[in-house]
Amino acid sequence: VDPHLLRTFVTVVRRGSFSQAAAELGYTQSAVSQHIAALENDLGAPLVRRRPVGPTRIGARLLDHARPLLLRLDAARADIARMTAAPTARLVVGLSPLALTTDVAAMLAPFDLTIRVLGRDVIPAGVATGTFEVGFVDGVAAPTDPLNLTEIGPLKTVAVAEQPVVVVLPPDHPLSGRAGLRLGDLADAHWIDAPDAGIPLAQLRTTSGTDGFRPSLTYHGSDVLGLITLARSGHGMALLPRSVAEGVPISEPPLVHRVEQVGEMPHTGSTTFNDSCNAESHGRTRPN
């Protein structure tokens, strides 16, 4: 199973066309055709339906393997490239929108920075493939539980900040001010899902293990103030880290908003140095 063939296969499926995939990869259509034929021949099963071009059932399964495989392959290249190349003066940091808390900002203070804000899901991949040197991902979890990040290679992950999560409510809501409420009771309430501006409800479902928290409104956008306005106006409840929801009516469930650092910071004199690097080398580090 040659990675080149896999990459071609993935590209063909993504673009839905042999010729477009060829153009993207710098091959001729013929070569792409031969790649697919070689793969199908090697695996002994048809992988793509033609006209219209799309994956077969088996092809779809292969995709599930191929995409993480190619990612890890790139990650391996990038990782050793990083060990070889001299560290750059400028630190490139990838952040999910709500990961830029004051704690994180403080950590980054001593560096010359280039900051890129991206979706939560692509931050670990970006660190693995060397798009940036360190990443910060935010998310919601039960206290002391780690975030559930997609694993790509031996990446060190450390929790760097935790703060309570709050539910933003309309001003006159009966729950206003209550702390420690059981989230399960709110599974069937009206929720706003704001994956970019707030905390995705999908994470809540995972964390709570329930099947509720279905959004009655979905908010696409990264504007937190807009989200708060919606929630205060009674369109539904919104989930936010406490620090960004100051001065609005809230309720506090027993959950934390947590930021985890993916990858390692370069060593500078002014930075805290964690000397447990060698013990249990690539494991996940939990605080406390």
State which of residues 1, 3, 14, 50 lies at the interface with DNA (CB under 7 A).
50
Nearer to DNA, 53 or 189 (CB): 53
For the CB of residue 24, give the shortest distance to a second copy in the complex, in Å. 20
- Does residue 41 touch DNA according to CB under 7 A? no
Selection from DNA, a second copy, none that 90 binds (CB < 5 to 8 A by kind) is: none
Selection from a second copy, DNA, none that 76 binds (CB < 5 to 8 A by kind) is: a second copy
Selection from DNA, a second copy, none that 33 binds (CB < 5 to 8 A by kind) is: DNA
The dihedral sign for the CA sequence 275, 280, 282, 285:
negative
Selection from a second copy, DNA, none that 37 binds (CB < 5 to 8 A by kind) is: DNA
Paired tokens of 35:
């790649």
For the CB of residue 2, give the shortest distance to DNA in the complex, in Å. 5
For the CB of residue 80, give the shortest distance to DNA in the complex, in Å. 18
State which of residues 24, 29, 178, 252 lies at the interface with DNA (CB under 7 A).
29
Q: Count CA atoms closer than 13 A to 212's CA, side-chain side.
A: 12
Q: What does the chain look like in DSSP terms, one character per residue?
A: --HHHHHHHHHHHHHT-HHHHHHHHT--HHHHHHHHHHHHHHHTS--EETTTTEE-HHHHHHHHHHHHHHHHHHHHHHHHHHHHSPPPSEEEEEE-GGG--HHHHHHHTTSEEEEEE--GGGHHHHHHTTSSSEEEEEEEESTTPPP-PPP-SS--EEEEEEEEEEEE--TT-TTTT-BS--GGGGTTS-EEE-TTTS--HHHHHHHH--S---EEEE--SS-HHHHHHHHHTTS-BEEEEGGGSTTS-EEB-S-EEEEEEES-PPP-TTS---TTSSTTTT-EEPP-
For the CB of residue 265, give the shortest distance to a second copy in the complex, in Å. 18
Nearer to a second copy, 21 or 47 (CB): 47
Residues 6+ apart with CB under 8 A from 1: 39, 42, 43
Helix axes of 29-43 and 18-25: crossing angle, nearest 10 degrees: 110
For the CB of residue 221, give the shortest distance to a second copy in the complex, in Å. 26
Contact residues toward a second copy (CB under 8 A) are 1-3, 43-45, 57-58, 61-62, 64-66, 68-69, 72-73, 75-77, 79-81, 83-84, 144, 151, 153-154, 209, 282, 286, 288
Nearer to a second copy, 73 or 100 (CB): 73
Nearer to DNA, 18 or 111 (CB): 18
Nearer to DNA, 7 or 120 (CB): 7
State which of residues 44, 51, 64, 267 lies at the interface with DNA (CB under 7 A).
51
State which of residues 43, 53, 69, 78 lies at the interface with DNA (CB under 7 A).
53
For DNA, the binding residues (CB under 7 A) are 2, 4, 17-19, 26-31, 33-38, 50-53
